[in-house]
Amino acid sequence: MIVEQNVPLQAHNSFGIVAKARELVRVRSEDDVLALLADAQLAAKPKFVLGGGSNIVLTGDVRPLVLKVETLGRRVLEDGPRATIVEAGAGENWHETVAWTLAQGFGGLENLALIPGTVGASPVQNVGAYGVELQDRFESLDAIDLASGRVFTLDAAQCAFGYRDSVFKHEAVQEGDFGLSGRALILRVRFRLPKPWKPVLGYLDLERKMAETGIRTPSAQQIFDWVCAIRSAKLPDPRVIGNAGSFFKNPTVTLEQCSDIIAREPGIVHYRMADGSVKLAAGWLIDACGWKGKSVGNAGVYEKQALVLVNRGGATGGEVVTLARAIQTSVYERFGIRLEPEPVVV
């Protein structure tokens, strides 16, 4: 285990914000964490777990000890009659892992193609796109307790998945509280890919692709290609334009709360949820407030998708946060709806 000093993080956060880790340790296996915990000084330091950096806004150099997750490896654990279980190291690239499962002949993750970030980050925010959420394909994960070094396994219920949410996004302030943020590092994740494979096609953009191509029974590979095409057309590639995907969650409100808004703004994009609540398209709300293409310093609102904030080149985390707050204020003033950011501000 080597402690690196003043490590540039620009290449390790998808916003491409310039910042440094004062101290950084690469975690390639649980042994690296155990070695770190055996050093009393390092063990006592506050720690920050960094995956692919696709869901963070860095507002300055990171003072806690950065644990850069680099646990690798992919394997098929079980190819049974009702499901295939595959396992991937938390440090593996998410999109490459999705492509790998398809190359092995196992569909199930294709709707989640091209999501930036790592395998280890996928359960943290329960990534989701085009009608599939990670929790629909999740089997279990192994994580290591950053205080005791104990490796433990969590199933889906224990991860407490919600919309872009899990136990890993919550901080436990005192012993016994719910939340593992900052307390555990995910080492590897197992996915359950159901058999027989069934396509998930309900999402409007995918239905459009079916209509355009005339393909009524697409293969998993075909859906993968469609999802890649849809995402590339409206979401910026973080390798070219820094961004963290959707910057805000789509707010869920009661029908009562939004019936007057819907009456006032008949064009508002909304979806009725199974529990009777209504999900509003945050991108539409931001767009309606005229934010598309606007900027604060070098941070901007993406021209093709108002839900995505981008780094136009040299943006600071402060500019991103200022822009986000201004958007929240104008959406609140016009619609009375509070938008909740998705990324973690560090």
Could you tell me if 251 and 280 are in contact, meaning their C-beta atoms sit under 8 angstroms apart?
Answer: yes
Active site residue 92: no
Active site residue 164: yes
Binder among 307, 309, 324, 339 for ligand EPU (CB under 6 A)? 307
CB of 106 or CB of 130, closer to ligand EPU: 130
Q: Which helix (H) or strand (E) holds 334?
A: helix 317-335
Binder among 3, 268, 269, 337 for ligand EPU (CB under 6 A)? 269
CB 281 to ligand EPU: min, Å: 3
CB of 170 or CB of 234, closer to ligand EPU: 234
Cβ contacts of residue 81 below 8 Å, gap of 6+?
Answer: 195
Closest CA to 282 of 202, 214, 337, 215: 337
CB 218 to ligand EPU: min, Å: 17
Q: Percentage helix, strand, coil, to 5, in the chain?
A: 30, 30, 40
Closest CA to 133 of 150, 148, 115: 115
CB of 22 or CB of 249, closer to ligand EPU: 249
Could you tell me if 15 and 244 are in contact, meaning their C-beta atoms sit under 8 angstroms apart?
Answer: yes
Binding to ligand EPU (CB under 6 A): which residues in 120-159?
129-130
Site string for ligand EPU, 185-224 (x = CB under 6 A): ----------------------------------------
Cα separation, 257 vs 126, in Å, equals: 26
Active site residue 333: no
CB of 19 or CB of 288, closer to ligand EPU: 288
CB 164 to ligand EPU: min, Å: 6
The radius of gyration computed from the CA coordinates of the chain, to the nearest angstrom, equals 21
Binder among 283, 317, 341, 343 for ligand EPU (CB under 6 A)? 283
Chain mean position to CA 188: 16
Could you tell me if 50 and 161 are in contact, meaning their C-beta atoms sit under 8 angstroms apart?
Answer: no
CB 56 to ligand EPU: min, Å: 13
Residue 284 is a binding residue for ligand EPU (CB under 6 A): yes
Cα separation, 221 vs 223, in Å, equals: 5
Token pair listed for 44: 């006592």
Could you tell me if 313 and 297 are in contact, meaning their C-beta atoms sit under 8 angstroms apart?
Answer: no
Indicate the residue type of 2: I
DSSP-based three-state secondary structure for 200: coil
Binding segment for ligand EPU (CB under 6 A), chosen from 45-53, 65-73, 206-214, 302-310, is: 302-310
Site string for ligand EPU, 218-257 (x = CB under 6 A): -----------------x---------xx--xx-------
Out of 164, 190, 192, 231, the active site residue is 164
CB of 129 or CB of 156, closer to ligand EPU: 129
Closest CA to 236 of 226, 223, 245, 228: 245
Binding segment for ligand EPU (CB under 6 A), chosen from 101-109, 192-200, 279-287, 330-338, is: 279-287
Per DSSP, helices labelled H in the chain are 30-38, 40-44, 94-103, 121-124, 156-159, 204-213, 220-234, 255-264, 282-288, 317-335
CB of 24 or CB of 288, closer to ligand EPU: 288
Binder among 151, 281, 321, 337 for ligand EPU (CB under 6 A)? 281
Cα separation, 231 vs 237, in Å, equals: 9
Cα separation, 343 vs 324, in Å, equals: 11
CB 49 to ligand EPU: min, Å: 19
Residue numbers annotated as active site? 164, 246, 342
Instruction: Enumerate binding residues for ligand EPU (CB under 6 A).
Output: 129-130, 235, 245-246, 249-250, 269, 281, 283-284, 287, 292, 305-307
